[in-house]
Structure formats: C-alpha cells, structure tokens
Amino acid sequence: MSDENTPEVVELAPGLAAALAPVEEKNDRRPRRGPDPLAGLRSWSPRTRLGRMVLSGKILTYEQALNTGLPIREVEIIDALLPDLTDDVLGVNMIQRMTDSGRRVRFNVLCVVGNSDGYVGLSICKGKEVSSTIRKAIDKAKLNLIPVMRGNGSWESSEGPANSVPFKVTGRSGSTRITLMPAPSGKGLVIGDYGRRVLTLAGVTDVWSRSAGQTRTTINFAKATFNALIELNKTRITDGDRERLHITQGRTFQ
C-alpha cells in the first residue's frame, strides 16, 4: 500500500501537546481550583514570529527558542516550552493613597516562577485587584526567566551533579546585599526564607550566604538574591574551570 495518503505527524512542544491532547473523563467531580493553565494554549493565536514557529512545531525546547535570538514577548511561548514551571507568590502588600476623591487602594505583588532545574524568573506588579495582579505578576515573571549557573565550588564537594553556586557572588537591591557562597552537598540553603524560596525554584539546593543592609525588606531581599544569580551569568569562565567546577547552565535534563 502507498503511504501518500498517510497524514504527516507534526511534533509539538510539550505544553502544546498536553493542551491539545484529548481530555480523559474522570469520576472526580470536585471543582478545579484556579484557572486552567492550558486554556490559553488551546485558543492561542501567535502574534510574533517566534510564536508562530513554536505553534508550527519548528521549535520544541526553550533552549532552541533562545538560540534563535528572537525576543520572547508572549507568555504562551513559555507555557508551551516549559509547562512544568511552578509559581510562588512571595508577598502581597496593600498600598493606600489619599486623593481628592477619597482613599485609593492598590496592591503590590512580588512573584517568582521556576522549574527547580535551572530556570527562574521574578517580577513585581501593581494593580487594583489582588487576583488580576497576581496573574499579571506570574506572566511577567515568566517573560523574565534567566538560566541559572550551578556548580560545585566548595572544596568539600565531590564529583557529581551541580547543586550549588560555582563561586562567591553578591547581588544588591536597595540597601540589601546578599552574598552567595558555595556549599557542599547536603548542607541545604543557609539563607533567609525569601531567598530560600527563590533558590529552590532556581534549582540550587546547597548554599552558604551572608547578608547586609535592611534585610527585613521582603522585596529587596528576594531581588538581591535574584540579582546575585544574574551576576553569575555575567562572569567569564574558562573551559578548564567549567570542567573542574562541574558548571551547568539551564536545565540538566531536557
């Protein structure tokens, strides 16, 4: 028999494949909490060149999207290429301002997203309603994703997966300064709560830290930790040091 009439199977990105897959009927009638994360992909109409390439199956991974050099301006691209992202709302602050017409109330939301394997993003958004502002902060954090450089920089570390930072690095936000230092495997995250939540979603499991300044400020503490991860990517490293420190950048398993 001829294969001329056989339809061609197009491989899709993991998020698109999950969104377009047939829905299995379940006996559990409990209502879903929150919006369906895949609903936007089912009705997605790309507006950029990169989005059309993802929808057509030409780009299947986030790394391929970065290699194109095209800007990522649609959050659906992130949902299609990295469907396993987890979001964490670090803080919701109410801002009150007195105007001529009365008291004006707005909300300030700090959110972080990550896949716990080399990608993390952080954003701050303001809005009139909490739910819509949280949704906007999550989408903005997805568009601010950065690859996280990990390595075994501690002299106590042995050969194995890179779970710490490769060398000492400092991040700053306002008066808050956070210094991340390599730690051996099993030490854990020796850092404040908000920095720990950022590093957990980034895929860093062992680190020493030192802080200075007004560290009780939630936004500055989280941003300083995030800026320290950005500083790692700005450092020039030789191939020999990469091999010696077992440095990886981005996802370990694709």
Helices 218-233 and 193-202: angle between axes, nearest 10 degrees: 40
Query: How high is the pLDDT of residue 29?
Result: 54
CATH number of this structure's domain 86-145:
3.30.160.20
Query: How high is the pLDDT of residue 1?
Result: 47
Give the list of residues 6+ apart from residue 9 with CB closer than 8 angstroms, or none: none
Asked if the model's pLDDT at residue 160 lies above 80, the reply is: no
- Give strand ranges (E) for the chain: 86-99, 102-114, 119-127, 146-147, 149-150, 169-173, 176-182, 207-212, 248-249
Dihedral sign for Cα 204, 205, 210, 215, please: positive
Burial (CB < 10 A; 0-12, 13-18, 19+), residue 64, is: middle
φ, ψ of residue 135 to 5 degrees: the values are -60, -40
Work out the end-to-end distance of the chain between its first and last CA atoms, rounded to an integer number of angstroms.
Answer: 37
Q: In this structure, which amino acid lies at residue 99?
A: T
Distances (CA, A) of 154 to 14, 166, 197: 36, 8, 22
pLDDT tens digit sequence for 91-136: 999 888 877 778 888 999 999 999 998 899 999 999 999 999 999 9
Percent of the chain at pLDDT > 70 equals 88
Architecture of domain 149-249: 2-Layer Sandwich (3.30)
Asked if the model's pLDDT at residue 215 lies above 80, the reply is: yes
Query: How high is the pLDDT of residue 7?
Result: 52
208 or 21: which leads in pLDDT = 208
Q: Taking the model in full, what pTM does it have?
A: 0.87
Mean pLDDT to the nearest integer, 139-166: 85
Asked if the model's pLDDT at residue 37 lies above 80, the reply is: no
Segments making up each domain of the chain, as ranges: 14-18+33-81, 86-145, 149-249
Query: How high is the pLDDT of residue 207?
Result: 94
Query: How high is the pLDDT of residue 201?
Result: 95
Select from 248, 242, 202, 252 the least CA-distant residue to 225: 202
Mean pLDDT to the nearest integer, 141-165: 85
Query: How high is the pLDDT of residue 43?
Result: 86
